[in-house]
Amino acid sequence: MFSSVYSAYTGMLSFSQGLNALSNNVSNMNTPGFKSSDVTFRDLFYQFSSSGLSQDGSQSQVGEGTEASGTRTSFAQGQLANTGNLLDVAISGNGFFVLHDGANTYYTRNGQFDLNAGGTLEDKASGAHVQAITGTGDLHDINLAGLQTSPATPTTEMNFVGNLSSGATTDQLTALTIFDSVGASHTWSVTFTNNSTATAGSWLVVVQDENQKTIGNGEIRFSADGSPTTGFNSFSFSFAPDKAPASTVVLKFGGAGSLTGATNFSGGTTSSLKLNTQNGYASGSLVSTSFDTQGFITLKYSNAQTVKGPQLALAWFNDLQQLQQRGNETFVNVTGMTPLLGTADGKVMGTLSAQNVERSNVDLTQQFTDLVIIQRGYQSSSQVISVANQMIQQLLDMRSGK
C-alpha cells in the first residue's frame, strides 16, 4: 500500500509539471513566434516476482509510478497576421531569423524588428542584432547608417521618340528637367531647325538652359525612309553650370536605320517628337524601409529611387528538439549542431511575408482538452492516495483494537 501512495504521488507530481507547461502555453497564446511545448511522460521501474504472487508460477510485475521525462516543442506553423509595420516580417515554412548580441547567437521566429539609434536592425524583444547573409555565406549585422541618403546622379542621357515632320521648319521641346553633377535641377529647351535645303534630311539642334543660354548644339540626319542615319543619330556636349563640375550629356534619337526612335516623315507642320526617357536625379532622403519576399531590405528615397540593401539570413537544423528556448521567443543551439544557413527561397527555407508576424502556434482547443485530462489525472492520483491512507489507517486501527 505504501508503494501505491508513492506511485500516486509521482502521478500528481507529473501532472502538476504538465500543468506548468500548459499554463506557459496559454499565457503565451498572443506572443508572436512562440512555439508551444508538451510534457512527455514515462513509466518508472518495476518490481518483478516469479513466485508467491501467482498460483501458476508465472512472473508478476508491478510498476512504481510515472515521471515527466521532459518537454517536446511543437514547431508547427503559426498563422500570419498583418501588422502594417514596415520592418515586420514573417516566415512561412522552414527557417529561423538569426540574431547576435556580440557574444551569443540566437534563433527566432518572431520577425518584429526595428532600427536603433545607430542604424542597426535589431530584434525588438531581445535587442540582439539581426543578421544578414552575403553571397559567400558569411553573416553580418545589418546597419543602414550609411544608407540614409541617396546621392545625386547627373543626367547623362536623353532619349527622344516621335516624328519630326519633314514639312515643318522648326520644332521646340520645352520644360525638360535635367540634373547636374551635384543634383541641382535645370530646365532646358531643345530647338530643331529644318536644314534639308542644305543637306537632305538634316536638322540643326540647339539646347538652351533656363536663362536662354545656349549650352549645346548639334546636327541630326534622317535617311529617305525616315530613320536616323549612322553617325547623325545622336550628339553630345559638355554641361558645366556654375558651382558644379562638368558632365557630358548625350541626346539620342534612336538606332540608325530603326523606326523605333525619332522619325522624319511628312506630317505637315506638326511634329510629335518628345522626350521619352532620361537618367539623373537629385539627392534624396530615406523615407521608408521594408522587406521584399526574398528578405532584401528595400530602401525608398524622396527622389523616387529604390535600393536593395542586405538580405536577411535564415537558419535551419536537422534536429529541432535539440534547440533550447531562452525567452524573448529565442532559441539557442546548446549542442553545437551545424546550422544550415541560407535565404528565403521556398525550397529548403520558407518564404517571407513583409509587414506580417507569425502568431503563436498555441491551439487553445487542444490546451483546454489537455487541461481536463491533467485535472482528472491529478484528482485520480490524489484519490488513490486518499484510499491507500484509509486502508493503512484501518490496519493501524486493527492493531490498537479499535
Interval 334-355: pLDDT, tens:
999 999 999 998 888 999 999 9
Residue ranges of the chain with per-residue pLDDT less than 70 = 1-2, 44-65, 399-402
3-state secondary structure of 296: strand
Q: How far apart are CA 247 and CA 239, in angstroms?
A: 5
The Cα-based distances of 30 to 27, 168, 180, 271 in angstroms read 8, 72, 53, 65
pTM: 0.77
Contact 137, 237 (CB under 8 A): no
* CA 91 and chain centroid, separation: 8
Contact 91, 35 (CB under 8 A): no
Q: Does the domain made of 157-278 have the CATH classification 2.60.98.20?
A: yes
Q: How far apart are CA 218 and CA 119, in angstroms?
A: 49
Which residues, 6+ apart, have CB-to-CB distance to 168 below 8 Å? 194, 267, 268, 269, 270, 271
**108: its cell numbers:** 527566432
Q: How far apart are CA 368 and CA 39, in angstroms?
A: 15
Q: How far apart are CA 240 and CA 317, in angstroms?
A: 59
Q: Residue 66: what pLDDT?
A: 75
Concatenate the DSSP letters of all residues of 241-291 into one string.
-TTS--EEEEEE---TT-SSSEE---BTB----EEEEE--B--EEEEEEEE
The string of pLDDT tens digits covering residues 226-277 is 999 999 999 999 999 988 999 999 999 999 999 999 999 998 889 999 999 9
Other CB atoms within a 10 A radius of the CB of residue 94 amount to 22
* CA 68 and chain centroid, separation: 39
Q: Residue 49: what pLDDT?
A: 61
Delimit the CATH 2.60.98.20 region(s) of the chain.
Answer: 157-278
Among the listed residues 149, 102, 147, the one whose alpha carbon sits nearest the alpha carbon of residue 122: 102
Contact 274, 160 (CB under 8 A): yes
